Chains A and B, each alone.
Chain A
């Protein structure tokens, strides 16, 4: 007989969902999308996703959508993550990530709204002055 998710386990999950539903004001304010193509996975994208989930947990945040998608087309810069903040003009692509960098992105971008420029792919386009 295969072991399965038990009634007690269900109760635990249920408790979490009720808690988050109660606290949630509408949908997420921040969406964090880790790119997971072959290139990303080989470069450590799953560790980045785990780091994001664990930051959400330890900081007790309730308005973060954590998700993942395929290759973003810039394999040499993986692992990458796109961070989108509600009401900010444009999503930011962070490149060559590590769990430590993820921590800083939470401290700065997610919590204070300040983009971590040194980890971002590019800032604006070329100027002529």
Chain B
């Protein structure tokens, strides 16, 4: 994975596979504390505590197609390389929260990348996924909640390519405002 936004997409895809239909993504960039934290919280089926304890191991997976599961391992590797860590909390039947911490100015900290493309990818997933996205950068903050947008627009889904294209422009300009 070249950047953090791709890791986020990957972890959120795990959430979708776990049956989640609502995913909260919270990014906090705090340059004063020299910290970048990413939190991905889902309402999927969750995991047992045994599974949660070993889920970052690349040779652990619940999938049956193959015996490796690389997503979380790759994220952990990226976090450790940037002086941070990954924690996974999960409760069966409730959902899973993945939290990744990075040292903001660490030379090996991957760039954020195109986070808007990640959000658009999630919104265009074949399963209807709702997201709540909050992005803080020091004093600036942006929030996007797909359920609110849908109800304001009176739409059942944002999965229309034209809508996604306009939405992408809007989110990009909002994120520029806070950076």
- Residues of A at the B interface (CB closer than 8 Å) are 1-5, 9-10, 12-14, 16-17, 19-20, 33, 36-38, 41-42, 46, 49-50, 53-54, 56-57, 62, 64-71, 73
Check if B121 sits within 8 Å of A36, measured CB to CB. yes
**Chief secondary structure at chain B's binding surface:** helix
Q: How many A-B residue pairs have CB under 8 A?
A: 115
Tell which of B88-96, B98-106, B162-170 binds the partner.
B162-170
Which residue from A1, A36, A64 sits with its C-beta under 8 Å from B161?
A64
Check if A46 sits within 8 Å of B121, measured CB to CB. yes
**Closest CB in chain B relative to A7 CB, distance in Å:** 9
Which residue from B71, B117, B174 sits with its C-beta under 8 Å from A46?
B117
- With a cutoff of 8 Å between Cβ atoms, the chain A residues found around residue B149 in the complex are 5, 10, 13
Bound CA–CA A37/B161 (angstroms) = 21
Within 8 Å of chain A (Cβ to Cβ): is B21? no
Check if B126 sits within 8 Å of A53, measured CB to CB. no
Which residue from A41, A65, A71 sits with its C-beta under 8 Å from B1?
A41
Check if A41 sits within 8 Å of B163, measured CB to CB. no
Within 8 Å of chain A (Cβ to Cβ): is B13? yes
Check if A17 sits within 8 Å of B65, measured CB to CB. no
Given the interface pairs A13-B166, A42-B6, the reply to whether A70 lies near B16 with Cβ below 8 Å is: yes
**Closest CB in chain B relative to A26 CB, distance in Å:** 14
Return the CB mask of B129-146 against A: 1 if under 8 Å, else 0. Answer: 000001000001111100
Check if B124 sits within 8 Å of A56, measured CB to CB. no
- With a cutoff of 8 Å between Cβ atoms, the chain B residues found around residue A13 in the complex are 149, 153, 163, 166-167, 170
**Closest CB in chain B relative to A102 CB, distance in Å:** 14
Residue of A nearest to B69 (CB): A38
**Closest CB in chain A relative to B113 CB, distance in Å:** 9
- With a cutoff of 8 Å between Cβ atoms, the chain B residues found around residue A71 in the complex are 65
- With a cutoff of 8 Å between Cβ atoms, the chain A residues found around residue B141 in the complex are 1-3
Within 8 Å of chain A (Cβ to Cβ): is B177? yes
Check if B163 sits within 8 Å of A49, measured CB to CB. no
Which residue from A17, A38, A54, A57 sits with its C-beta under 8 Å from B155?
A17
Bound CA–CA A117/B163 (angstroms) = 31
Which residue from A9, A20, A68, A73 sits with its C-beta under 8 Å from B162?
A20
Which residue from A3, A33, A56 sits with its C-beta under 8 Å from B140?
A3
- With a cutoff of 8 Å between Cβ atoms, the chain A residues found around residue B65 in the complex are 71, 73
Q: Quick one: which of B40-94 are within 8 Å of A by CB?
A: 65, 69-71, 74
Bound CA–CA A4/B170 (angstroms) = 10
- With a cutoff of 8 Å between Cβ atoms, the chain A residues found around residue B162 in the complex are 16-17, 19-20, 56-57, 62
Within 8 Å of chain A (Cβ to Cβ): is B31? no
